[in-house]
Structure 1
Amino acid sequence: MSAPSFPSGVEAELQLAVMEALRCDTGVQAYLGNPARVFDGDSDEPVFPCVELERHDVRPNGSAGHAGSAHTLSFGLRTRMGGRAEAMRILSELRRVLDAFSCADDGRRSVLSQTIYCDVMRTPDLREFRGVVRMRIILEGAGE
């Protein structure tokens, strides 16, 4: 199921942590400004290039007596300058941060963070390039 517009609890905390990791990274900021233009639907008129969290899917994923959840987050990139090469460089920075992401709090910890999909394509109007990066994070209860 997709997360609601205003997720709560674990989903909201994880989403905020991922967004902050991207916004605060200097490599991401080199392309998307400081603070980095990484949004979760909170910008009606973004400045290009920018990244938006488009989807946050959550599924149960417990194992070996541990409660757990699998989170799939999809980010969309929009850029009008630099062509495909620029879009690929930006996605590379996003992937670097997302693959290194880890968190632990409130009795939960991330046990896996990996990019599962990444692509760049030209939009039908030929005005911009669109990039997509999808990541998977597995959380489990710490010490259970």
Structure 2
Amino acid sequence: MEVILKEDVINLGHRGDVVKVAEGYGRNYLLPKKLAMQATAANKTVIEQMKASALRRSAREKGEAEQLVAQLDAVALVFERKVGENEHLFGSVTSADIAQQLEAKGFNIERRKITLEEPLKSVGEFLVPVKLHREVTAHIKVTVKGEEAAA
């Protein structure tokens, strides 16, 4: 089945691409979620118009993302967690924790855009990548400190 992607789909393609997918994947996932439309002759002409507007939108989003990178470079987040032996955290710092603290500082960034390979489970300083756009990635400085035990 050939479909035209309306949105970027990870491991499949970008907005406006014509791709071949399995019948079930297209019919049961891509089409109902409005991520794609069937590749007919009429839809292909419509998609050419959509591609032009998508290029303009992508350029605008990239510009906004680059401005946000400049603002995020100055941001440093600090988390305090209880630590055990060898400075190993009892909990961890996840992308949801980072997104929540960024929102408290006035940045509305989705948790899914924060690309932590695995949660931070040790004390130290980390550079956490945030994928704001397909071509733009910011790096946020995250410091994890050990919480002082009450005497």
Q: TM-score, normalised by structure 1?
A: 0.31
Greater strand share, 1 or 2? 1
Higher Cα Rg, which structure: 2
Q: Of the two structures, which has the highest relative contact order with CA contacts closer than 8 Å and spacing of 6 or more?
A: 1
